A and B are shown apart, each in its own frame.
Chain A
Amino acid sequence: MTYTFWILLTASLVGISCGIVGVLLILRKMAMLSDAISHTVLLGIISSYLITNSLDGFYMFIGAAIVGVLTTVFVQLLNSAGVQSDAAIGVVFTFLFAIGVILVSMFARDVHIDVEHSIMGEIAFIPWMTVDWFGIEGIPQAVWMLGFVLIIDLFLILLLYKEFKLSSFDPGLAAALGLPVGLLHYVLMGMTSITAVASFDAVGAILVVAMLIAPGATAYLLTERLHMMFILSAVFGVIAAVTGYFIAAWLNASIAGMMATMAGVLFLLAFIFSPTHGIIAKRFSQRKIQQVDIET
């Protein structure tokens, strides 16, 4: 397997898993909460390293999932105590992230998780960091982790498809029907956390938000069916990741930065040219209405 193959596979796995989880985040208007989680999982990673003294991906997952869910719990606690929700998110995530940064700088300076790496990611190193799991040699750890996360995300979305759909569209009816609305919320937060931590190595804490939100937001502008939104979002995630890599390699620029930029470019294109939601289509239909007004 070549170096480029592993990079593209990693990037595509990031695109797909972030893309499908992002659909639910957008429909539930929780984009900012995912921003918070993508940062606070740093605390989960460093905590699991300090407790287990290993950089094993499995412990990182557990740590990240716990801290990610804790983030939403704290936000909700503050919120129900009367703090505005955006202020609650801002306070909780910067506080937990800051603790993570302090712990990294104090105890983990010389290991692989340095602050800059966590924030910016470095996909270019991924093909060399292979592990031998299940007797299979030579597969990068990031690919293993992203593969597992993608399977978990897909499994949960398929299993809970109609539950996620109703609780996103109409939480009131979902609760009245007795669906486990609170549990679904925390399942999604857990999915967001493990997806963020698995994508960390590739794109870093800041840009993973772009991969979580931009492809879903693009798909939202282009389809009127939920299942299609999942598919399109995953496709746009892959396109952003792959084109981003090649353009970055060509310009010798930041790979993660270029992937996020491409995600933004795709969104911009949809925003302008979407046949239903695009600004050109809207202008056109407005002019049509005005013309009808003049004629009648």
Chain B
Amino acid sequence: MNPITANNITVAYHRKPVLQSVSFEAPEGKLIGIIGPNGAGKSTLLKSILGLVPKASGDVNIYGKTYRKQRQIVGYVPQRGSVDWDFPTSALDVVLMGRYRQIGLFRRPKKNDVKEAMSCLEKVGMEQYANRQISQLSGGQQQRVFLARALAQNAHIYFMDEPFIGVDAATEKAIVQLLSELREQGKTVIVVHHDLQTVKDYFDWVMLLNVRKIAFGPTNETFTSDLLQKTYGGKLTFLDQKEEEGVPFA
């Protein structure tokens, strides 16, 4: 059974559609990138699957059941910029938040949960920062804490919203490493991505999105200049020029 089956998702803000009739079936155990221009609805697609924005129409199934019934097998990494990093809390505490569902309403985290959270921090190479206040971490370190939190959710499917934005080279490497480990464990990872240069290296499958789904399939079949042109429109010629000049267009 497919980890994610989306039928005809439409999302509108103030009657203006930001996603229109998007349907897809994600294969299991793949790293899947979602790319498209700004305002293409990439983040909105993730949020609509997770029930964080209301859908005008359409439905989503996670392994054949609604998301509500499958929350415990879905992990989520929001955009780093979506939270206040001055919040008075530590890195370890943020990772523990990933276990709040398992811990249950009204209950406190136990030793076991703290141990689990620590091992997730270790997996992203952040164990020595466990007690650091989160505002004292660099952007890349903050992103790694977010990833550790998603690992603490111990999910089968992961949704990550722009995890590579504003991170240093070491963190980028750590994230790529982590993604391939998750794939080895048979997990499905869906990543909103913006850097076209790295798509071929990072993702097995790719979705080209611009309000509508332009294409979805294995990267070598889908990530073609033809389809990219269709997704990005005129903007791509500008990107091509930059590429010829040797300037990365991150």
Contact = CB atoms under 8 A, between A and B. Distances in A.
B106 A170 contact: no
A77 interface: no
Nearest to A181: B52
Contact of A178 (B71, B82, B103, B106): B71
B68 interface: yes
A169 B87 contact: yes
A177 B106 contact: no
Interface string B69-108: 0010010101000111001111001100110110101101
A226 interface: yes
Contact of B101 (A177, A223, A225, A229): A177
A220 B88 contact: yes
B55 to A, nearest CB: 14
Contacts of B47: 172
Nearest to A175: B52
Contact of B83 (A82, A170, A226): A170
Contact of A226 (B14, B68, B89, B108): B89
B87 A162 contact: no
A165 B89 contact: yes
Interface in B178-231: none
Contacts of B153: 177
A169 B97 contact: yes
Interface in A195-241: 220, 223-226, 228-229
Given A162-B108, A178-B101, A179-B100, A172 B82 contact: yes
B248 interface: no
A163 interface: yes
Contact of B100 (A159, A162, A168, A220): A162
Contacts of B51: 175-176
A73 interface: no
B37 interface: no
Given A178-B71, A178-B101, A225 B90 contact: yes
A177 B71 CA distance: 6
Contacts of A229: 88
A229 B84 CA distance: 16
Nearest to A230: B88
A27 B87 contact: yes
A163 B149 CA distance: 16
Contacts of A162: 97, 100, 103, 108-109
B8 interface: no
A173 B14 CA distance: 24
Interface in B1-23: 14
A95 to B, nearest CB: 25
Contacts of A27: 84, 87-88
B133 interface: yes
Given A175-B51, A176-B76, A178-B68, A169 B103 contact: no
B50 interface: yes
Interface string A142-173: 00000000000000000111110110111011
Contacts of A82: 14
A82 B84 CA distance: 25
Contacts of A173: 76, 78, 97-98, 149
Given A162-B100, A165-B97, A170 B68 contact: no
Contacts of B83: 169-170
A60 to B, nearest CB: 29
B97 A166 contact: yes
Contacts of B50: 175-176
A284 B84 CA distance: 25
Given A160-B106, A170-B78, A177 B90 contact: no
Contacts of A223: 88
Nearest to A227: B88
9 contacts: A82-B14, A162-B108, A169-B97, A172-B78, A176-B71, A177-B101, A178-B101, A224-B89, A226-B93
Given A82-B14, A177-B101, 15 more contacts: A27-B87, A27-B88, A161-B108, A169-B83, A170-B82, A170-B97, A172-B47, A173-B76, A173-B97, A173-B98, A173-B149, A176-B74, A223-B88, A224-B90, A228-B88
